[in-house]
Chains A and B, each alone.
Chain A
Amino acid sequence: MSVDHEGVRDLIAAWALGATLPAEEPRLLSHLAECERCAGEAEQMREAVRLLDGDPRAAGAGPEEGAAGPEEGAAGPEEGIADPAEGAHSMPTDPAPATPGPTTRILTAALRARPAAPRVAPYAAPYAAAVAGLQALLRELGESGPWSTPVVHDWDIHATVAHLVAADEPLALHLGLPPCEPRSAVPGGVAWRDAWAARTAEVIAREHRRTPEDTVATWQERTARLLAAPEARDPELAAPAATLLGIRMPVAEHYLVRAFEAWVHTDDIGRALGRAVPPPPDPQLWQLVTLAVRILDLALGTTAPPVLLTVSGAGGETEWVLGSEADPVAAELVLDPVDFCLLIGGRYAPADVPRGLAGDPDAGRGVLERAASLAWL
């Protein structure tokens, strides 16, 4: 058994599959001509590949894939039929296989199984996306999934969805949509934070008497109505400010708050289930970053020592000066966009969030601690 035999033997399967490097073939073929055992193995493997090919006439022909390129090389017979009417929709990044006829059929069939995030104004797009993302995650649980897995606070997954039903309610009411069940028994005049906690408890108690499926259906139905509201599509209608959950800002930004909360809770549920939830696509992630900076800036006020905040990572880099405008910058803080959002969402202890910090450490820590203690979700 020569050294060559060992080296060549490992190549036989790759060769039968057309996956060798061209330079290696002469050595392989001359070995096969001499070595009966390897030739026998090669013959068997070629026969297996011939059968896998599915073409009975291909007996004796070389492996077909060897010469063909990657995916683009061969395609179903309909791939070549271009429908000129649909040509404008073909993907610019991948002209070769994406004849739009099949793409349209695929999309149509797929969209029957799951609707796309609805098209809304840019400020509501992150909410539409976050809702689609949570739906996708909840779909993995099915009817008998681990709905009672603990998530955050004392909520399980079921209660977390119920919480979102409650948390969406103030915006829904402001837009003239009906309240969710049960009717609120929280007395007026209570501080918003207490009222909100009591309301969440009411809705969770009610939803826990229903199936998770019913709760998810209620949540979906209510999110769909928020996204179908004229305010989700018309920037002029979404421009007036409203005070909801203790924050006064334009309705457009309240949509961003809904997105932020839905995504943070989706991330919570993903962690509870041991599934990585990707952050929203970059444009929407950065809308959330901008919102988070604004919330943090409001909380810090105009007298805090000024800190230069740089958010840098996926999708770009932007700087803001937080705090007093009168004084020179005391410290510089650099955070990743996702980490920054999770910090603002109360999902990081100030000491734990990965950051870059230069300058006055107290000023930098002050911003991190304020950010982590907003408790606005």
Chain B
Amino acid sequence: MVVPVDLSNAPSDAELHRRLVYGDESALAEAYGAYGGLVRRVALRVTRSPGAAEEVAQEVFAQLWARPYAFDTGRGTLRTWLSMLAHRRAVDWVRSEERHRKAAHADEDALYAIPAPGPAPDEVVVDMERAFLLHSALAELPLPQRQAVHLAYFAGRTYREVATELGIPEGTAKTRLRTALRRLAELLAEPPDASASESVERGA
């Protein structure tokens, strides 16, 4: 019997998921080939550490492989699911780093590898705290908004492509992006010191 195998360029989510469920490790390599760059980039954006980004990527793909049923093909695409999982894990990684740093009273150790040359250290620290505040808030957004932001921002999609991938009207895609970004912008409008210390408290 001849069984034609579809070798088209992008493996479909359903097909990949099916092979992951049935323990085909080549499906994991394909998923990494398709989405590894995105996952690492998302993690790097949050952690600013290539080592941490790799750690997060390993966790994300280990989760996809070890618990394939955690991804439900009926509820969103693998791209958004992996992107959101990477983001969540990266936010957790930064929180845990903060905890360790505090526990060790090692405030003098820089939390992030800061590329030089840069602005004055104080500004950098404030920026990093505010950035993490935003990433934490992004991770808490309602799922439909989060999916839209992940596609538009991390995966570089236009709002039109976001609408197509999520199966929603373009107007809805724009509205979701706007609601999400307004929420983040509002956080910034709060006094920077207050938001920065809130971030530290939340991380504790």
Contact = CB atoms under 8 A, between A and B. Distances in A.
Interface of A: 9-14, 16-21, 41, 44-45, 47-49, 51-57, 65-66, 68-79, 89-91, 93-94, 96-98, 102-103, 105-107, 109-117, 128-133, 135-137, 139-140, 275-284, 286, 290, 315-316, 318
Given A71-B37, A76-B53, A14 B118 contact: no
A112 B63 CA distance: 11
A189 to B, nearest CB: 40
Interface in B152-196: 152-160, 162, 171, 173-175, 177-178, 180-182, 184-185, 187-189
Contacts of B35: 71
3 closest A-B pairs by beta carbon, nearest first, are A132-B23, A117-B23, A98-B33
Contacts of A97: 33-34, 36-37
Contacts of B144: none
A18 to B, nearest CB: 7
A11 B33 contact: no
Question: Which secondary structure characterizes the binding site on chain B?
Answer: helix
B69 A110 contact: no
Nearest to B112: A54
Contacts of A93: 7, 9-11, 30, 33
Nearest to B180: A13
A44 B188 contact: yes
Given A13-B181, A76-B41, A110-B66, A20 B5 contact: no
B37 A79 contact: yes
Contacts of A9: 178
Contact of B58 (A12, A105, A115): A105
Of A41, A73, A77, A93, most B-chain CB atoms within 10 Å: A93
Interface residues of B, number: 92
Contacts, number: 267
Given A13-B182, A14-B159, A52-B138, A47 B188 contact: yes
B9 A76 contact: no
Nearest to A51: B131
B129 to A, nearest CB: 10
A230 B139 CA distance: 50
B101 interface: no
A230 to B, nearest CB: 21
Contacts of A19: 152-153, 157-159, 162, 177
A229 B115 CA distance: 56
Contacts of B10: 93
B157 A70 contact: yes
Interface in B121-138: 123-124, 127-128, 130-131, 134-135, 138
A11 B118 CA distance: 32
A48 B188 contact: yes
B22 A139 contact: no
Contacts of B142: none
Contact of A76 (B21, B50, B187): B50
